[in-house]
C-alpha cells in the first residue's frame, strides 16, 4: 500500500479531478481493506461506491459507480479515497485485520445457524437481491438436471431488455449487463464438471448464438462481452474434450460456426479441435468446408477456412485453387499464389504466376506495387537484369512517382544502363509537366533533388512550378553556393507567416529567419538583416511568444 502518493493520484486523475477530490476527503466513509483493494462510500451528489486497487508494480487503478467514473475515468471520489488512504496509512494494517476478523465472524455465525434459520436467511436475501436469486435458480436447475430450466435461465441472462433503453444498452449499464451475462459461462462449466458435458456443449453453442444476437446492441467499450465470448468458446472446447461428441457432427458445427457472423466474436479455430475430430472428423471438416467454398467461391470466410485447412494438410494445390477462383484485378492474388509456391519450393510456377499477374493487370498504374517488387527481385536474383529494368520502366511510365523512379534507378544501375534510362524518365516527366500537369512538375523536382542535381531541380521548379516545401528544400540546398537565390525564397515564404498566429507559425518563421541570417552573412550584408528584423519586431511586437522565441535565438 505504501506505493500510493499524492503525485500518483494527481497524475491518474488530472489536475481538475485532483483539485475537486480535495474537497471530498471528509465525505469518505465505510472503508473496507482487503489485500490490494480498498473500498469505501463517498458522499457526493449521491452516495457512490469507490474501489482502489493497489499493490504490485503497476500503477494504482480504480473504479467508481459515479457517472464520470463509469466512463472509465479516475474521478474525484477515487482521489478522495486515495488521499484518505494516504492520511491513514498507519491504520491500514489494523483495518485489514479487522476485515479478516469480520469475515471469520460471519463464517462462524453462518456455521452455527440451524438448517431452518439458514434457509430463512437465504430466502430473505433472495427476496431482496434479484441477481442472487437468479444465480441460485440456475444452480437449482443444474442440480435437478433440468436442461429446459437452465436453457430458460440462460436466455434471461442474455436478455438486454432490463438494461436497455430503446433497444440499446448504454455504457453506464453495460457493466451490469455483462456481469449478468457472464454467469452463463459459470453454469456451462459446472455442467461439464458434474458429468453433463453433452448438455454443456449444446448450451455453449446456444449461448454463443444469443450473445452474437445482442452484441451490436451493447456499448462494450470495456471489452467485457469479448471476455464472455472467449469464456464461452473455452467452455465449449472443454465440454467437447470431456464429452467427446461425434466427430462428424462436431466437424459440421465447426464449419457452420466458422462461416457465421458469430465466428468473429468467439474466434474459435476448427484446427484447435483436431485432436478431438480424429481422421474421420477431419475428413468431414474438409468436406463441409469444400462444399461451402464451392457454393460461394468469393466469400472471405469460406476462402479463409479452406486456406487454413489446406495449409494444415500441406495441400498447396488447394490453397492455389482457392486463390485462383477469385483473382484480384490489381495482381495482389497472383502475388499471394507466387509466395505460396515459392515457400513450397516450386519456383518456376511461382515466377509464372507473378508474370501472369503483371500481364493480367489492365493498367499498371493500379498494380499492386508489392507484385512488381516481388517479380523484379526474382529477375535480379536469376541474373535477368534487363527484364528487371523493363519491368521497372513500364511501372514508372504507368505511375511516375519518386518511388517508382528510385526503383527504376536501382535496377538500371545494377544493369549498368542508368544514364540513358534516366534521360528517358526525365523526358517523360518534362513532357507531362509541359502539358500543365502540376503533379508531374513536382515529381520532376523531387527526383532531381533525389539525384542530387540541385541546379536542374531549381530550373525545373522555375519552369514547371513547385510546392513551398520543395522551394524550402531547394533553398536549403542552394544556400551554400547561391545565397542570394536562397534568400529570395526565404523572404517569400516568411511573408505569409507574419500574418499568422500560434507557436507553430512562430517556430517556422524563426527557422526562416535563421536561414536568412546565414544568407546575409554569406553575402556580407548583415546590416540588411538587422534592418529586416528590426522592422519585423516593430510590426509584430504584440506577438509575445514570437518575441521570446526571437530573443532566444538572438534575432
Q: Report DSSP letters for 28-89, one per residue.
A: EEEEEEETTEEEEEEESSSEEEEEEE--SSSPPEEEE-SHHHHTT---HHHHHHHHHHHHTG
Specify the pLDDT at position 201: 94
Cα–Cα distances in Å, from 332 out to 269, 354, 369, 416?
Answer: 26, 9, 9, 30
Asked if residues 480 and 523 have their Cβ atoms less than 8 Å apart, the reply is no
In a domain, 57, yes or no: yes
| Side-chain-side CA neighbours of residue 212 (13 Å) | 18
373 and 400 within one domain: no
The CA distance from 135 to 137, in Å, is 5
Residue 234 CA to its chain's centroid (Å): 24
The string of pLDDT tens digits covering residues 510-555 is 999 999 999 999 999 999 999 999 999 999 999 999 999 999 999 8
Specify the pLDDT at position 491: 95
In a domain, 529, yes or no: yes
143 band by pLDDT with thresholds 50, 70 and 90: low
Average pLDDT over the chain, rounded to an integer: 89
The string of pLDDT tens digits covering residues 144-171 is 667 888 888 889 889 998 888 788 998 8
Which of 81, 112, 143 represents a domain boundary (last residue)? 112
Task: Provide the edge-to-edge strand list for the sheet that holds 37-43.
Answer: 28-34, 37-43, 47-53, 61-64
In a domain, 546, yes or no: yes
The string of pLDDT tens digits covering residues 314-328 is 788 888 888 888 889
32 and 91 within one domain: yes
pLDDT above 90 covers a percentage of the chain that reads: 49
373 and 387 within one domain: no
101 and 25 within one domain: yes
In terms of residue numbers, what domain contains 357? Answer: 327-378
Q: Is the pTM of this model over 0.85?
A: no
536 and 450 within one domain: no
Which of 433, 466, 499 represents a domain boundary (last residue)? 466
What's the domain count of the chain?
Answer: 4
388 and 374 within one domain: no
1 band by pLDDT with thresholds 50, 70 and 90: very low
Specify the pLDDT at position 125: 79
- Residue 63 bridge partners (DSSP): 51
108 and 31 within one domain: yes
The CA distance from 183 to 134, in Å, is 10
Specify the pLDDT at position 33: 83
In a domain, 210, yes or no: no
517 and 532 within one domain: yes
364 and 341 within one domain: yes
Cα–Cα distances in Å, from 197 out to 42, 155, 544?
Answer: 46, 19, 75
In a domain, 192, yes or no: no
89 and 65 within one domain: yes
Q: Is the pLDDT of residue 91 over 90?
A: no
In a domain, 493, yes or no: yes
Specify the pLDDT at position 43: 86
460 and 388 within one domain: yes
In a domain, 24, yes or no: yes
Give the range among 294-298, 310-314, 443-447 with minimum mean pLDDT.
Answer: 310-314
373 and 332 within one domain: yes
Give the range among 307-321, 404-418, 483-497 with minimum mean pLDDT.
Answer: 307-321
In a domain, 312, yes or no: no
Amino acid at each position: 500500500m505504501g506505493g500510493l502518493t499524492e503525485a500518483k493520484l494527481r497524475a491518474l486523475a488530472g489536475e481538475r479531478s485532483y483539485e475537486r477530490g480535495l474537497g471530498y476527503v471528509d465525505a469518505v466513509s465505510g472503508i473496507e481493506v482487503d489485500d490490494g483493494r480498498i473500498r469505501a462510500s463517498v458522499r457526493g451528489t449521491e452516495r457512490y461506491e469507490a474501489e482502489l486497487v493497489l499493490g504490485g508494480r503497476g500503477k494504482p487503478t480504480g473504479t467508481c459507480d459515479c457517472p464520470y467514473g463509469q466512463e472509465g475515468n479516475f474521478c474525484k471520489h477515487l482521489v478522495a479515497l486515495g488521499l484518505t488512504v494516504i492520511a491513514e496509512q498507519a491504520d491500514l494494517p489494523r483495518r485489514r485485520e479487522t476485515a479478516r476478523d469480520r469475515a471469520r465472524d460471519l463464517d462462524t455465525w453462518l456455521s452455527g445457524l440451524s438448517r431452518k434459520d439458514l434457509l430463512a436467511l437465504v430466502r430473505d436475501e433472495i427476496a431482496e437481491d434479484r441477481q442472487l436469486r437468479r444465480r441460485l435458480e440456475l444452480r437449482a436447475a443444474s442440480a435437478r438436471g433440468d436442461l429446459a430450466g437452465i436453457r430458460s435461465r440462460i436466455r434471461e441472462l442474455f436478455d438486454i431488455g432490463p438494461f436497455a433503453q430503446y433497444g440499446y444498452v448504454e455504457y453506464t449499464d453495460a457493466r451490469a449487463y455483462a456481469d449478468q451475462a457472464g454467469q452463463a459461462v459459470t453454469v456451462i462449466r459446472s455442467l461439464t464438471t458434474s458429468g453433463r458435458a453433452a448438455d454443456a456443449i449444446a448450451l455453449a453453442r446456444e449461448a454463443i448464438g444469443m450473445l452474437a444476437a445482442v452484441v451490436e446492441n451493447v456499448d462494450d467499450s470495456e471489452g467485457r462481452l469479448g471476455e464472455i465470448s472467449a469464456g464461452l468458446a473455452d467452455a465449449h472446447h472443454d465440454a467437447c474434450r470431456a464429452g467427446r461428441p461425434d466427430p462428424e457432427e462436431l466437424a459440421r458445427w465447426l464449419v457452420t460456426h466458422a462461416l457465421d457472423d458469430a465466428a468473429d466474436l468467439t474466434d474459435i479455430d476448427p484446427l484447435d479441435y483436431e485432436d478431438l475430430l480424429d481422421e474421420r472428423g477431419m475428413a468431414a471438416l474438409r468436406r463441409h468446408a469444400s462444399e461451402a467454398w464451392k457454393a460461394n467461391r468469393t466469400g472471405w470466410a469460406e476462402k479463409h477456412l479452406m486456406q487454413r485447412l489446406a495449409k494444415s494438410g500441406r495441400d498447396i494445390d488447394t490453397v492455389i485453387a482457392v486463390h485462383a477462383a477469385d483473382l484480384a484485378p490489381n495482381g495482389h492474388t497472383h502475388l499471394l499464389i507466387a509466395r505460396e509456391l515459392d515457400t513450397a519450393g516450386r519456383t518456376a510456377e511461382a515466377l509464372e504466376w507473378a508474370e501472369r499477374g503483371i500481364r493480367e493487370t489492365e493498367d499498371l498504374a493500379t498494380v499492386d506495387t508489392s507484385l512488381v517488387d516481388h517479380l523484379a527481385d526474382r529477375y535480379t536474383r536469376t541474373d535477368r537484369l534487363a527484364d528487371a529494368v523493363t519491368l521497372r520502366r513500364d511501372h514508372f511510365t504507368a505511375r511516375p512517382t519518386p518511388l517508382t523512379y528510385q526503383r527504376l534507378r536501382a535496377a538500371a544501375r545494377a544493369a549498368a544502363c542508368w544514364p540513358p534510362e534516366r534521360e528517358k524518365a526525365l523526358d517523360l516527366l518534362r513532357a507531362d509537366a509541359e502539358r500543365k500537369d502540376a503533379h508531374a512538375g513536382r515529381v520532376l523536382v523531387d527526383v532531381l533533388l533525389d539525384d542530387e542535381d540541385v541546379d536542374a531541380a531549381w530550373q525545373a521548379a522555375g519552369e514547371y512550378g513547385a510546392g513551398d516545401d520543395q522551394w524550402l528544400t531547394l533553398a536549403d540546398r542552394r544556400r551554400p553556393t547561391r545565397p542570394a537565390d536562397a534568400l529570395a525564397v526565404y523572404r517569400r515564404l516568411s511573408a505569409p507567416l507574419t500574418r499568422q498566429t500560434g507557436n507553430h507559425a512562430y517556430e517556422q518563421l524563426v527557422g526562416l529567419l535563421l536561414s536568412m541570417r546565414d544568407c546575409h552573412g554569406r553575402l556580407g550584408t548583415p546590416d540588411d538583416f538587422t534592418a529586416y528584423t528590426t522592422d519585423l519586431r516593430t510590426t509584430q511586437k504584440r506577438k509575445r511568444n514570437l518575441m521570446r522565441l526571437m530573443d532566444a535565438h538572438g534575432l
